[in-house]
Each structure stands twice: as C-alpha cells, then as structure tokens.
C-alpha cells in the first residue's frame, strides 16, 4: 500500500462527465490499496470567467479603462472555482461507493504568504488529512488556494494547482505525485512545432525546473521547486490515456543515459530594452535596476557591451512582454539618474533555450547551438547561460525554425 497524490487540471474536470472519469481514475488507485489525496483545478473556463468578472466590476463607473480589483477580493471570487470542483468530485466518488471528503485551503490548512494572487505556500498541516485518509476517505483538495496569515483566502497564481498537488504530496509524505493533464508527459520540445518531438521517460528535477521557467508550460515552476526540494517522485501523465506512460521527475542519479541536451524550450513572452550611451561607471546598474525592481518588473537576461572609450556603453536587458510598458515608464522616470542618450525597445523577440544536465560533461554544447543557428541565418541578440542551460534571444519570426534546427542538431529526433 502506498500513499499517492493525484492532480487533475481544468480540462480534466471541464464538465460532469469528465469529473466522473476522474472519479473512476481515483477509484482505480484506491482499489489497488492506495491512500489517495486528489487535487483539482476549477472547471476549464471558470477561472477566466471569474477573473473577467472581477476585472470588469473593478472599473470605475463610466470608465472604459481596465482596473485592478482588490487582489484579496479577487482571490475570494476566483477560489470559488476550485471549491465547486472539489465538492463535485467528492460527490462523484460517493456515487462510486468511494468515501471522500473535500478540503478547502483554509480547512487543511495550506498556509501561504500574504501576496494575494501570487501567494507562496509556506506550510501544510497534514494531521487532519492523514486522519481522514486513515479512516479510508479519499481527500479531495481544492487546488490553487490557501489561507493567508490574516485568515483570508489566497491563490497561488496560474498553474497553482500543480504546486498545491506537489505541496500536498510533500506534506503527506506521499510515495508519489501524479499530475494528470491533457498531454501524456514532458516532451523534448513542443510537439506542435516539432512533430518528431519525443516524450521523455524521465527528466531530472533540475532540468524540469529550467524547462518550466524557460517556457515549457506543462508544469508550474514553483511545483517543480517543491518536488525537487522534498524529493517528491512526480509523474506527468494523461487524463485521457493514463496508461500511456508519462514522464517521471527524478533525481539526476536515476537517469542512466545522459544526452548533452534533454529538451528545448522557447518563450515568446519576451521584450528587449536597450539603453544607449550610458556612463560606464560603478552604480549605474543600481540606478537602472533599482527602480525596475521597485516597480515589480522582473529583469531576465542582461548584457552590457564593452565600452569603446571607457566612458560610454550600451546596456540591453529583457523583460516579459506584459511588463514592457511598466519597465519603460520606470526607466523614463529615472532618466536624470541614468543619463542615457537613447532608449529603444523591441517586443518582436523570443527566447530559445537548450536544457540538459549532460551539458556539464560535454564541452562544446553551446558551440553547436551557435553554429546551428548561424547556419540558418539566425542572428543571436543576447545570450545567457547556466550550468545546465543556454538561452539565446532571437527575432520572434525565427522561433520555429530555430527550435526545429536545434532539435535535429542535438539528435533529439531519435530515441
């Protein structure tokens, strides 16, 4: 007998028939003798509907401008979506003769930070849930939500139910966390771009973390962090074809054959900003990035040219496209301190990344990337590297071409 956590996303619980299907999958695990905690998202479309309502009603009367609702109240509205699914799945399990009870964030409780809308799970008290599991009940947990320090409902941000699931698995010391989704695992890259993309049987936590943060949408980054931190064996598998195999997130040591590159990720949510002819002296970076941080803008890649004369230089960095306007405003406000000659920006850029723990042992991996892109006539605008990934910024129109070329170059097309 094992203790397992299962997670089903919005498309997996999109209507009553699909919730019944999920109940059958949960029953199957229970019939195998397992204790099961199952984490659910809102029915597909519900979260968008509720967020849309909150944004719409936040507008001042007569105004057509978008307005930000009080994020604490938006959380109250939005968290209702997962609440409904949790209750319905508990009822559906009852109809199959499986005892079940729903758990909302505040009931467990799942304690989070007070950053409403993007709260961070800080701890889970597993005691009550464990008692319930011991009584033979399936624990049906509303994903995406927790309770803030001041006892108000908090939500975890897009994809937060993945994080709920892994955190619940960690809290319960579950033997496994199965993330059921609408794809049957993690692929070497996006199969919509590269039809030859292959499903990975295993991927190291570190690699998955890079894949997720560099654009692969299959798991929320924070969920991978928690899985890695608590060493939760986590599987990604298909709700609609649960026996297709899936992908296991595991320790690096558990992966025998290490190719230099495991996967290729890309992100179109990029924008590039360049400050021309800024003074090349200490403190200038602080003058630029301090105000950006204060405005809540996340800066990703940064490159500073060598100055020709030792006095003036150019600085380029990237932000997410949705934060471009905010970033530009912040810089223009700080113009007197920065003293740039010109400010330019480009939102028609994309980031392509190669990821692999094998990179550590294989020199020349980056060189293959640069050569491959060069052969296709693709100009590299910015480069950033870490121990297990290389990212390049290129013109957005070359994304598919670049991803396909790299997929072949690193022999990911063949098993």
The residues of the shown chain that bind a copy of itself, judged by CB under 8 A, are 16, 19-20, 50, 53-54, 56-61, 67, 69-70, 72-77, 79-81, 83-84, 86-88, 90-92, 94-96, 100-102, 104, 106-107, 151-153
- Residue 157: name the closest of 120, 104, 201 by CA: 120
CB 353 within 8 A of CB 390: yes
Give the DSSP H or E segment for 339.
none
Match 């290490």 to its residue by tokens: 258
Q: Which is nearer to a copy of itself, 53 or 370 (CB)?
A: 53
Q: Which is nearer to a copy of itself, 46 or 300 (CB)?
A: 46
- Residue 159: name the closest of 222, 77, 101 by CA: 222
Q: Which is nearer to a copy of itself, 43 or 352 (CB)?
A: 43
What's the min distance (Å) between Cβ of 4 and a copy of itself?
Answer: 22
- Residue 143: name the closest of 159, 122, 126, 127 by CA: 159
Secondary structure (3-state) at 129:
helix
Rounded Cα distance, 306 and 313, in Å: 7
What's the min distance (Å) between Cβ of 159 and a copy of itself?
Answer: 21
Q: Which is nearer to a copy of itself, 88 or 402 (CB)?
A: 88
Rounded Cα distance, 157 and 116, in Å: 9
Q: Which is nearer to a copy of itself, 96 or 286 (CB)?
A: 96
Rounded Cα distance, 332 and 345, in Å: 13
What's the min distance (Å) between Cβ of 119 and a copy of itself?
Answer: 16
Q: Which is nearer to a copy of itself, 65 or 414 (CB)?
A: 65
Rounded Cα distance, 100 and 90, in Å: 5
CB 278 within 8 A of CB 286: no
Q: Which is nearer to a copy of itself, 80 or 366 (CB)?
A: 80
What's the min distance (Å) between Cβ of 300 and a copy of itself?
Answer: 32
Q: What is the 3-state secondary structure (H, E, C) of 3-39?
A: EEEEEECHHHHCCHHHHHHHHHHHHHHHHCCCEEEEE
What's the min distance (Å) between Cβ of 297 and a copy of itself?
Answer: 25
Q: Which is nearer to a copy of itself, 87 or 245 (CB)?
A: 87
Strands 35-40 and 138-142: what pairing?
parallel
Q: Which is nearer to a copy of itself, 69 or 215 (CB)?
A: 69
Long-range contact set of residues 96-102: C-beta below 8 Å, sequence gap at least 24:
96/23, 96/24, 96/27, 98/23, 98/26, 98/27, 98/30, 98/138, 99/135, 99/136, 99/137, 99/138, 100/137, 100/138, 100/139, 100/140, 101/132, 101/137, 101/138, 101/139, 101/140, 102/140, 102/141, 102/142
What's the min distance (Å) between Cβ of 61 and a copy of itself?
Answer: 7
CB 354 within 8 A of CB 406: yes
What's the min distance (Å) between Cβ of 33 and a copy of itself?
Answer: 22
What's the min distance (Å) between Cβ of 114 and a copy of itself?
Answer: 14
What's the min distance (Å) between Cβ of 47 and a copy of itself?
Answer: 12
**Angle subtended at Cα 245 by Cα 243 and Cα 250, rounded to the nearest 5 degrees:** 135
Q: Which is nearer to a copy of itself, 24 or 366 (CB)?
A: 24
Q: What is the 3-state secondary structure (H, E, C) of 210-232?
A: HHHHCCCCCCCHHHHHHHHHCCC
The rounded radius of gyration (Å) of the Cα atoms in the chain is 23
DSSP labels, 292-303:
HHHTTPPEEEEE
What's the min distance (Å) between Cβ of 169 and a copy of itself?
Answer: 22
Rounded Cα distance, 242 and 305, in Å: 51
Q: Which is nearer to a copy of itself, 90 or 183 (CB)?
A: 90
What's the min distance (Å) between Cβ of 49 and a copy of itself?
Answer: 10
């Amino acid at each position: 007998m094992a203790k397992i956590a299962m997670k089903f996303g919005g498309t997996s619980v999109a209507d009553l028939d699909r919730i019944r299907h999920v109940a059958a999958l949960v029953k199957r695990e229970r019939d195998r003798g397992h204790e099961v905690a199952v984490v659910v998202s809102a029915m597909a479309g519900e979260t968008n509907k509720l967020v849309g309502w909150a944004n719409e009603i936040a507008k001042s009367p007569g105004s057509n401008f978008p307005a930000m609702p009080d994020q604490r109240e938006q959380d109250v509205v939005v968290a209702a979506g997962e609440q409904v699914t949790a209750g319905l799945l508990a009822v559906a399990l009852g109809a199959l003769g499986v005892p079940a009870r729903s758990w909302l964030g505040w009931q467990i409780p799942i304690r989070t930070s007070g950053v409403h809308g993007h709260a961070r799970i800080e701890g889970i008290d597993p005691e009550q849930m464990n008692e319930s599991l011991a009584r033979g009940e399936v624990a049906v947990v509303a994903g995406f939500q927790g309770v803030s320090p001041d006892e108000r409902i908090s939500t975890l941000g897009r994809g937060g139910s993945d994080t709920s699931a892994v955190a619940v698995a960690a809290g319960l010391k579950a033997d496994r966390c199965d993330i059921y989704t609408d794809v049957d695992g993690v692929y070497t890259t996006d199969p919509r771009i590269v039809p030859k993309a292959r499903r990975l049987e295993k991927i190291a936590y570190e690699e998955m973390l890079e894949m997720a943060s560099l654009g692969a949408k299959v798991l929320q980054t924070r969920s991978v962090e928690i899985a890695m931190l608590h060493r939760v064996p986590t599987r990604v598998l298909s709700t609609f074809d649960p026996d297709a195999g899936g992908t296991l997130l595991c320790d690096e040591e558990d992966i025998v054959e290490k190719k230099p590159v495991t996967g290729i990720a890309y992100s179109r949510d990029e924008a590039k900003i360049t400050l021309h002819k800024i003074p090349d002296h200490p403190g200038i970076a602080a003058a630029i990035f301090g105000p950006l941080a204060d405005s809540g803008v996340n800066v990703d890649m940064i490159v500073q040219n060598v100055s020709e004369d030792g006095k003036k230089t150019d600085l380029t960095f990237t932000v997410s496209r949705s934060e471009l306007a905010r970033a530009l405003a912040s810089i223009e406000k700080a113009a007197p301190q920065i003293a740039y000659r010109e400010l330019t920006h480009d939102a028609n850029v994309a980031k392509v990344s190669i990821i692999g723990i094998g990179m550590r042992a294989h020199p020349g991996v980056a060189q293959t990337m640069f050569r491959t892109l060069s052969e296709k006539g693709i100009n590299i605008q910015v480069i950033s590297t870490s121990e297990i990934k290389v990212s390049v910024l290129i013109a957005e129109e070359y994304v598919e071409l670049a991803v396909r070329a790299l997929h072949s170059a690193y022999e990911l097309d063949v098993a």
